[in-house]
Amino acid sequence: MSEAAAPKGGMQKLLDWVERVGNRVPHPVMIFVYLIAIVIVLSTILSVFGARVSYQAYNPATGDIEPAFTEARSLLTIEGIRFMFTGVVGNFMGFNAVGVIIVAMVGVGVAEESGLVKALIRKLVIVAPAKALTYILTFVGIVSSIAADAGYLVLIPLAAAAFISVGRHPLAGLAVGFASVAAAFLVNVLITPVDGILTEITNDAIRLVNPNLSIDLAANVWFSMGSVALLTVLIALITERIIEPRLGPYTGDYKVPGETVLSEAEYRGLRMAGLGLLGVLAFLALLTLPPGAPLRHPQTGAIIGSSPFMNSLIVSISLIFLVCGIAYGRGAGTMRTTNDVIAAIQKAIGGLAGLILLLLVISQFIAFFNYTNMATLAAVSMAAVLEALALPSIALLLGFVVVVFLLDLIITAAIAKWAIFAPVFVPLLMQLGVEPEAVLAAYRVGDSPMNAITPLNAYFAMIVTFAIKYQKEAGVGTVIALMLPYVIWLSVIWTAFLAGWYLLGLPWGL
């Protein structure tokens, strides 16, 4: 029997079913319209029955852990209706993903239209061993969290382009990029900006039990590095052993480049882009490195953490792509005037029209959902149930991971969830002999994999848009079917890795 006619296994049949069912659901815009209606009705029911929870919570204004309570708020009250009508513009303008995507596309659009992105991908294919391509893209995707959301906007489309340039299915490249960036977001080989906030919240929770104890930014560095090594191999293997065999050869309309050798004009463009990169890096260094530089923290002078440099990373990255794209265009002869540059930016932003409409609806859903307090009610209630089970420390630690898994479907913001969970689980597990570093490590494991499958991820809709570029009939079901194997295997193996690390007593960090 030929390979094409070989019977499909149970997992592939399940994924095919998930894709068929998922692609039959309404347009994503309508999905969120229906979800808004459900939230309105459910918030009213919970409010009528007086749903309410009490807990200890982190107060970002004072930096203290304080008693708090939350009750359900109905959207069908005078205040709720007023909020829904008056908050539409504010909800959309305050949705950070919108600004991030548009700003990033200013630079990325020029780089792509000039031909720089294609030339870089072809150069990568030339210099990288074919067997190592998946692993390289996976590792780069994981460590891209140092630049916050830039990985979503840069690495994921680059991974798809890299795969198609060597004749591999672009949706497999899309999948490995999305899994690397989203499903491993809270681990890195470097200290990331999010680490500082998570550490601060953890220390405030620790003080509820021991005012003299604290952890530092490197408290999870060894576990994080070990996780990066594990996930790099695991994500690459899932891609090559499960995703690509299921997708088969690419038969879409998107043209697969047949030639990988770069022309003299392209090499000249890359040299010019390299000079442009050096120039813009020198410019950014002048704005960042000297004492009192404008991109340092105005009080502490810090560069890493909550500083202008870290808060403006997406602007810096967009500027790098813009300058390098223009330099490449001049060198390769693909962009000769400023009109060419402006036309490239307009084309890139114009291509976001459908995505912006979807983000408009998503921003309203998230705002309405947060207004009702249903996410907090669910989180605290699940934490109370887990605490009441009185499980051994290792079982409670793993149960905590499962709770975070489930809540990540509806609360995607890592910092917001930890602000709720830390005051509950850090003191609880400390009293059972579990160090706070282990609790924070468990949170990293629980928070990450579901990011690749929840439609509430602000960039999920963008991934669907990328998928349609390569496969016209793709939809929500296509992306979910692509990502489900990653979510299942990462959840199981990474959790087992956490349990093994804990049981062996390995150091979590410095």
Q: Please give the C-alpha separations between residue 510 and each of 216, 219, 221, 437, 440, in angstroms, as whole numbers.
A: 8, 6, 7, 10, 14
Q: Each residue of 106-137: pLDDT tens digit? A: 887 888 888 887 787 677 767 778 788 899 99
Query: Which residue type sits at 472?
Result: K
Per-residue pLDDT, 80: 95
Residue 211 lies in a domain: yes
Long-range contacts from 45-54, C-beta under 8 angstroms, 24+ separation: 46/72, 46/74, 46/372, 46/374, 46/377, 47/71, 47/72, 47/73, 47/74, 47/77, 48/74, 51/377, 52/377, 53/376, 53/377, 53/380, 53/381, 53/384
Q: Please give the C-alpha separations between residue 442 and each of 219, 252, 429, 433, 434, in angstroms, as whole numbers.
A: 13, 41, 11, 15, 11
Q: What is the mean pLDDT of residues 370-383?
A: 78
Look at residues 199, 146, 138, 143 and name the one whose alpha carbon lies nearest to residue 163: 138
Model confidence at 2, pLDDT cuts 50, 70, 90, reads very low
- Asked whether the whole model's pTM tops 0.85, one would answer no
- If one compares 36 and 355, the residue with the highest pLDDT of the two is 36
Check pLDDT > 80 for residue 66: no
Q: Each residue of 405-437: pLDDT tens digit? A: 888 877 777 776 787 778 777 887 887 778 999
Are 372 and 382 contacting, i.e. CB atoms less than 8 angstroms apart?
no
Are 127 and 119 contacting, i.e. CB atoms less than 8 angstroms apart?
no
Q: What is the mean pLDDT of residues 147-163?
A: 78
Per-state percent for the chain, helix, strand, coil, to nearest 5 = 70, 5, 25
Per-residue pLDDT, 83: 95
Check pLDDT > 60 for residue 260: no
Model confidence at 23, pLDDT cuts 50, 70, 90, reads low
Find the domain containing 455 and state its range. Answer: 31-66+76-504
Check pLDDT > 70 for residue 336: yes
Per-residue pLDDT, 317: 82
Q: E strands of 164-217, at which residues? A: none
Check pLDDT > 60 for residue 148: no
Between CA 2 and CA 432 the distance in angstroms is 57
Query: Which residue type sits at 445?
Result: V
Residue 3 lies in a domain: no
* Angular region, 115: left φ>0, alpha ψ -120 to 50, beta rest: left
Residue 17 lies in a domain: no
Residue 163 lies in a domain: yes
Between CA 179 and CA 142 the distance in angstroms is 9
Model confidence at 22, pLDDT cuts 50, 70, 90, reads low
Residue 24 lies in a domain: no
Look at residues 189, 220, 225, 226 and name the one whose alpha carbon lies nearest to residue 500: 226
Whole-number percent of the chain with pLDDT over 90: 34
Q: Mention every residue, 6+ apart, whose C-beta is less than 8 A from residue 28.
A: 358, 455, 461, 464, 476
Per-residue pLDDT, 497: 97
Q: In which residue are the tokens 């265009």 written?
A: 329
Residue 210 lies in a domain: yes
Check pLDDT > 50 for residue 273: yes
Q: Each residue of 233-248: pLDDT tens digit? A: 999 999 999 999 989 8
Count the domains in the chain. 1
- pLDDT, mean over the chain: 84
Q: Each residue of 461-477: pLDDT tens digit? A: 888 888 988 888 888 88
Residue 112 lies in a domain: yes
Model confidence at 3, pLDDT cuts 50, 70, 90, reads very low
Residue 198 lies in a domain: yes
